[in-house]
């Protein structure tokens, strides 16, 4: 979550009494049934409202992202909700609970400062129930996100990004003012609204339990507001306390550290959207969480892309975060284990980010892969493939001339076909500075250790490691026993001349 959202919440904290916040516990007594219905493909041929299609999402067994893992890995496909995310569940629940508590009446207005999935979930439910929606959003948000909410009839007020949170023009100040001014308006605030975890206690948890016929052993889920994990975990642990619940957090967020130390760490920026936090939401509760795993942006995005390419699961980056963690725990599990991992939202909102190769490369999540060997580099070298070398009996002056004529800064020293040493520009310079007359002395007096000799199959990565640490050049011995040299500048030339492709398969 961004800093501005935290400030936004603080800003609204005085409004708590107007929202359903006197209940902080998740239970089955104080909340009513919501408009979800159970799908029965035999008797239920159609639905009467899109709201009935929220939830009851399918589960897909993942096999291709993790060939050979022992446990069964099941993806709970929340990306297939009608609004494209797991937040459809809470959009509906928060509105229906508010109705039940008299916090919003027919014709009322839902106001939220949002750009993401919760806005979409609220807009969907509001559209069906005849409420007006007003979302305020800073102008850095993409036009697609604004248009998406408008498509559902929401009013979107775009506010300037470059103002302080308490500036009257900021998106939270505007939402605040509207909430104060508009009668019969409701501010759901998912971060401290108990209807959020309640939705998952009533729907996500039971679905996971039933779809696995009670055989689930591990539940893996990203933590954003905490709604999903708190609600679903409570239900699952009530059914079977030995189910392990694993929270997943982006590196840079507070949850993983907090879980270990019970102290709030400083947060750092990260790019995965929808999960992680920089302050603790009121609804967050670690009681039923057994472990929290932190995952990097890079691992999250690469696994998300694999989900699309290998499994046909088109999801947002946080799906990769959770799946990465699930694969990590899978290593220590057996054939008797069943892991359920939540796929929180659809990939279409991330086309310009994690599914865009340029964005991935600009952020160093995709590195160029060079499929080059030492042999490829020597064959592609500028000019002729002639190894310039010097013998031990040559004078330093002869060696210097050779370097100047060929524009090179190091020479292998070869005696009877054997590489016996090397002479580098640095060595020549330090020798001449100490005593210029030494130029008439023989090369054998100034030998450095020979450049490493490698075969032509060695990869560019290994060549680079050798050039980086051990030596300014390496000698390549070809299959026909001829010798070649690769220097750092040859490596740079080879890299820039060869087209790059991504590290992904």
Ligand X SMILES: Cc1ncc(COP(=O)(O)O)c(C=O)c1O
State the residues that interact with ligand X by CB under 6 A: 85-87, 117, 222-229, 273-275, 316, 318, 322, 342, 344-345
- Considering only CA atoms, which of 336, 341, 385 is closest in space to residue 486? 385
Compute the least distance from the CB of residue 120 to ligand X, in Å. Answer: 10
Q: For ligand X, give the closer residue by CB, 226 or 421.
A: 226
310 contacts 65 by C-beta, under 8 angstroms: yes
Expressed in percent and rounded to 5, the helix, strand and coil fractions of the chain are 40, 20, 40
Alpha carbon dihedral 235, 119, 167, 279, in 10-degree steps, equals 20
Go through the chain and tell me how many residues it has.
505
Q: Nearer to ligand X by C-beta: 222 or 252?
A: 222
Nearest approach, Cβ of 197 to ligand X (angstroms)? Answer: 8
Q: How many Å apart are CA 271 and CA 178, to the nearest integer?
A: 31
Task: Round to whole Å and give the CA distance between 485 and 248.
Answer: 49
3-class DSSP state of 144: helix
How near is the Cβ of 181 to ligand X at its closest, in Å? 29
- DSSP string spanning 359-412? HHHHTTSS-EE---BHHHHHHT-SS------B-TTSBHHHHHHHHHHHT-SEEE
Indicate the residue among 137 and 486 with the shorter CB distance to ligand X. 137
Q: Between residues 272 and 473, which has the closer beta carbon with respect to ligand X? A: 272
Q: Judging by beta carbons within 10 Å of its beta carbon (0-12, 13-18, 19+), is residue 241 exposed, middle or buried?
A: exposed
Least Cβ distance, residue 110 to ligand X (angstroms) = 18
Shortest Å distance, C-beta 486 to ligand X: 46
Q: Is 271 a catalytic residue?
A: no
Residue 399 CA, chain-centre distance (Å), reads 54
Task: Indicate the residue among 345 and 484 with the shorter CB distance to ligand X.
Answer: 345
To ligand X, the closest distance from the beta carbon of 254 in angstroms equals 13
- CA-nearest of 315, 295, 297 to 305 is 315
Q: Which is nearer to ligand X, 117 or 373 (CB)?
A: 117
In the complex, what is the shortest distance from the CB of residue 178 to ligand X, in angstroms, rounded to a whole number? 24
CB nearer to ligand X: give 108 or 250. 250
Q: Where are the alpha helices (DSSP H) in 220-356?
A: 227-239, 255-261, 297-306, 317-330
182-213 burial, b if ≥16 CB within 10 A, otherwise e?
eeebbbbbbbbbbbbbbbbbbbbbbbbbebbe
- Which residue of the set 38, 70, 87, 145 is catalytic? 87
Residue number of the CB closest to ligand X reads 274
- Cβ pair 280, 264 in contact under 8 A: yes
Catalytic positions are 87
């Amino acid at each position: 979550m961004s800093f501005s959202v935290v400030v936004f919440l603080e800003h609204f904290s005085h409004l708590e009494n107007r929202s359903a916040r006197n209940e902080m516990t998740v239970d089955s007594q104080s909340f009513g049934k919501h408009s979800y219905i159970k799908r029965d493909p035999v008797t239920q041929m159609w639905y009467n409202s899109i709201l009935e299609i929220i939830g009851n999402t399918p589960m897909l067994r993942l096999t291709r992202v993790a060939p050979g893992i022992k446990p069964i890995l099941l993806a709970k496909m929340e990306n297939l909700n009608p609004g494209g995310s797991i937040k459809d569940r809470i959009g509906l629940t928060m509105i229906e609970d508010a109705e039940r508590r008299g916090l919003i009446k027919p014709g009322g207005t839902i106001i939220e400062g949002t750009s993401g999935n919760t806005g979409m979930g609220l807009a969907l439910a509001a559209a069906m129930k005849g409420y007006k929606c007003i979302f305020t959003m800073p102008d850095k948000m993409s036009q697609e996100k604004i248009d998406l909410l408008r498509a559902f009839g929401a009013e979107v007020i775009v506010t300037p990004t470059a103002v302080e949170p308490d500036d009257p023009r900021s998106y939270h100040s505007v939402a605040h003012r509207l909430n104060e001014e508009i009668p019969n308006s409701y501010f759901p605030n998912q971060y401290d609204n108990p209807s959020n975890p309640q939705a998952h206690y009533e729907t996500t948890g039971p679905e996971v339990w039933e779809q696995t016929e009670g055989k689930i052993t591990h539940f893996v889920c990203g933590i954003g507001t905490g709604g999903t994990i708190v609600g679903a975990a409570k239900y699952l642990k009530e059914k079977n306390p030995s189910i392990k619940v694993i929270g997943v957090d982006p590196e840079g967020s507070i949850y993983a550290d907090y879980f270990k130390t019970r102290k709030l760490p400083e947060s750092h920026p990260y790019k995965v959207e929808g999960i992680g936090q920089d302050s603790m939401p009121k609804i967050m509760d670690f009681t039923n969480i057994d472990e929290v795993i932190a995952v990097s942006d890079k691992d999250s995005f690469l696994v998300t892309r694999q989900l699309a390419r290998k499994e046909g699961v088109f999801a947002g980056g946080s799906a990769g975060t959770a799946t990465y963690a699930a694969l990590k725990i899978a290593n220590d599990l057996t054939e008797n284990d069943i892991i359920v991992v939540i796929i929180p939202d659809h990939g279409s909102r991330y086309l310009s980010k994690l599914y865009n190769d340029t964005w991935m490369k600009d952020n160093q999540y995709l590195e160029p892969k060079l499929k080059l060997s030492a042999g490829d580099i020597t064959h592609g070298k500028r000019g002729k493939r002639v190894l310039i070398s010097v013998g031990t009996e040559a004078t330093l002056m002869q060696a210097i001339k050779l370097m100047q004529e060929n524009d090179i800064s190091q020479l292998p020293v070869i005696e009877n076909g054997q590489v016996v040493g090397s002479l580098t520009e640095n060595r020549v310079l330090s020798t001449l500075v100490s005593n210029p007359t030494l130029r008439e002395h023989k090369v054998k007096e100034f030998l450095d250790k020979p450049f490493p000799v490698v075969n032509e199959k060695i990869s560019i990565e290994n060549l680079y490691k050798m050039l980086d640490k051990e030596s300014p050049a390496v000698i390549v011995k070809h299959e026909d026993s001829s010798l070649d040299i690769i220097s750092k500048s040859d490596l740079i030339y080879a890299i820039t001349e060869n087209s790059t492709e991504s590290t992904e398969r």
